Amino acid sequence: MQNFRRGIALPIAGAAMLVGIALWLVYVVTGPGSGGPAGLYRHGASIAFAFVDGEDGTVRVANPGQRPQPTASAAKVITALAVLGKAPLVPGEEGPVLTMTEADSQLYWDYATHGGSVVAVGQGQELTQYEILEAMLLPSANNLADTLAIWAFGSIDGYRSAATQLVRSLGMKATTIGEDASGFSPTTTSTAEDLTRLATAAMREPVIAEIVARPEAVIPGVGPVRNTNWLLGQQGVVGLKTGTTDAAGGVFLFAATVGTPGRLVVGAVQGEGRSADDAIDRASALIAEIAATES
């Protein structure tokens, strides 16, 4: 009887091992950072892209039936566009000087306490509109996204109303503006298809395109800040914006010049892995595939 049990147990153990190896191989091929085919995704991830020079504005959706998911800091691109719609700048302009209040200082402490990305500010500190945009879009300061939105629209509610009108005007039908201007709250949701439309609009706004193309900036009273987009300058990448929260996973809006002559392609990876690094890895594989077809 003992030999009989051993004869059954060994094949079962072998089969279990083969299943485990197969599952591991699937994860390696499709998991974040694997460099596997862009057409294979982890559960929940979504991808879309478009060419900015496309006359019909077609967004190419890699996986149809996308459902809205939290945007994380990609929401700051909505904030930047909304604010520049209300208070326009041209490259070279700094815009008005904002004096930080006690409420702005409290925003910093609130976000820092909850683990959000921040740039430290204190009451009485002065920053221009352009410097705040840099702090939002490069190191991804949640607190200054709210500060700028409240300055431009009077309140977060006022911002929400204006931002909702903006995204609808861009054809972003599946996007909801949430409780803050930073994307830290999971209540701001969208799809990769909508975020690709957002990326197109952002790269057509000269001030945003200028800022997101910089690897770093020096903000008076703050010091040097670095762009969280570490793919910048590689594979023709010229922008855009990273995002990470527990609810959103990894999010990355990208803009890259591909092919000969160069075409500007923009896109979004949403809900990939646990961090923006995972989303960037996935976007890198996608950009390589697009570049190959455009060569």
In tens digits, the chain (295 residues) has pLDDT values of: 444 344 444 444 444 444 443 433 333 333 333 223 333 344 568 999 999 987 667 899 988 888 999 999 999 999 999 999 999 999 999 999 999 999 999 999 999 999 999 999 999 999 999 999 999 999 999 999 999 999 999 999 999 999 999 999 999 999 999 999 999 999 999 999 999 999 999 999 999 999 999 999 999 989 999 999 999 999 999 999 999 999 999 999 999 999 877 899 999 999 999 999 999 999 999 999 999 988 6
Distance CA(83)–CA(196), nearest Å, equals: 19
Question: Tell me, what's the pLDDT at 181?
Answer: 98
Using the structure block, give the residue that is written with the tokens 């460099």: 35
Question: Tell me, what's the pLDDT at 44?
Answer: 65
Helix (H) / strand (E) containing 277: helix 276-294
Q: Could you tell me if 257 and 226 are in contact, meaning their C-beta atoms sit under 8 angstroms apart? A: no
Can you give the pTM of this predicted structure?
0.84
Dig out the tokens for 97 from the structure: 């000087």
Q: Going by C-beta distance under 8 Å and a sequence separation of 6 or more, which residues neighbour residue 287? A: 235, 236, 237, 254, 256, 258, 265
Q: Going by C-beta distance under 8 Å and a sequence separation of 6 or more, which residues neighbour residue 280? A: 229, 230, 231, 242, 250, 252, 254, 269
Distance CA(91)–CA(75), nearest Å, equals: 22
Q: Is 117 left (phi over 0), alpha (psi -120 to 50) or beta?
A: beta
Question: Tell me, what's the pLDDT at 20?
Answer: 43
Using the structure block, give the residue that is written with the tokens 């995002």: 243
Using the structure block, give the residue that is written with the tokens 């299943």: 19
Q: Could you tell me if 94 and 87 are in contact, meaning their C-beta atoms sit under 8 angstroms apart? A: no
With the C-alpha atoms ordered 280, 57, 55, 202, is the resulting torsion angle positive or negative?
negative
Q: Could you tell me if 129 and 94 are in contact, meaning their C-beta atoms sit under 8 angstroms apart? A: yes
Distance of CA 234 to the CA centre of its chain: 17
Question: Tell me, what's the pLDDT at 8?
Answer: 45
Look up residue 150 and give its amino acid: I
User: Residue-wise over 23-55: b if at least 16 C-beta within 10 A, else e?
Assistant: eeeeeeebbbbbebebebbbeebbbbbbbeeee
